[in-house]
Structure 1
């Protein structure tokens, strides 16, 4: 018995095996097409672009077997993008296309894949800098700006550590009393 079902999207009668399950309305083909379209729309958003940039950096780490700290998140890339007001950290032109993250200290040189070691950049500036240190490609003013930014972000980590230590002392005092 060849049971069939009509997909309301493509309006074709198809065998049940053409559906992920009997409970699903659309056939596999229509579901895949819809999922691809949703992904295409998502990748146009800042969060989608940030996700793609993160995937690219992680592929680079794996492909080259870099042994570096890697705790970067999509939310952190979005924060960096907002910090630089949607402009390239190097040329200060608006970033309108693909979001590119550049590692201040290149991964190749042991730089971490962390928020304090990335900036957003246009493809042109990222290509120009390549795997060089900032000092090799940009003037001292730009070097200082990027250094200050990195120190600012690292400062957040230091503040969290100080607060955690303080809170831990309070907890220990409460337990002792």
Structure 2
């Protein structure tokens, strides 16, 4: 009676001799140098490292902005312009100071902010996004920027105006006119909600 030999291999990572069945076999039939359990640990570590990167944070912010746009389109019943790219988000979130309060932000505090809320006619475009700290972004919510910036003074208004002028290439008067119109519409809707 002959004994069937079990084929083994030594994992280069954990340096243990293991059966071939404990290694992932590649599609071409070759067996890698690292066992399946070491490979699973390595994948988890690589994923953790990837999720800690600035690029990953920007990718998530872009996806979140797209989801917000779709929700707003459903609520409004009309399409919203969306030309936002990963590079727009990388550039925007690369800013150091919050567009509203002017405070220097750590990477973990940076959020992507729609200056004119999507539900109030804002677009998902480079000229309508800014970096805001988590505190300002959650406080502003869907308020018009002109109303929210009043709480932070003239410097906040100037920072927002500069950001929108820079992003759009329009004249400050034109951008200010757009912001004023959004604020007026917001007040009209807010006033009609109170009387209803």
TM-score where L is the length of structure 2: 0.64
Question: Gaps spanning 5+ residues in structure 2: where?
Answer: 171-196
- Secondary structure of the residue that 1:121 maps to in structure 2? strand
Is 2:80 the counterpart of 1:68?
Answer: yes
- Contact between 1:81 and 1:87, CA under 8 Å: does it hold in 2? no
Report whether the alignment pairs 1:25 with 2:33: yes
> Is 1:147 aligned with 2:147?
no
Deviations, residues 22-69 of structure 1 (Å, cap 9, x unaligned): 343334543343233223223333222222221222233345555322
Whole-angstrom distance in 2 between the partners of 1:18 and 1:58: 40
- 1:1-177 matches, cutoff 5 A: 5-10=9-14, 11=16, 13=18, 15-16=20-21, 19=24, 21=26, 22-63=30-71, 65-66=73-74, 67-82=79-94, 84=95, 86-96=96-106, 97-139=108-150, 141=154, 142-155=156-169
In 2, distance between residues paired with 1:14 and 1:131?
A: 59
Maintained 8 Å contact 1:71/1:114: yes
Deviations 1:103-162 (A, max 9, x none): 011122232222111001111100001122111211262233212221221119xxxxxx
- Cα distance in 2, alignment partners of residues 116 and 63 from structure 1: 20
TM-score, normalisation: structure 1: 0.69
Kept in 2: contact 1:5–1:16 (CA 8 A): no
What is the RMSD of the two structures over their aligned residues, measured on CA atoms?
Answer: 2.9
Secondary structure of the corresponding residue to residue 94 of structure 1: coil
Matched residues in 2 for 1:28 and 1:98: separation?
37
Query: 2: CA distance between counterparts of 1:74 and 1:65?
Result: 21
CA 1:56–1:3 in structure 2 vs 1: closer, same or farther (change >3 Å)?
Answer: farther
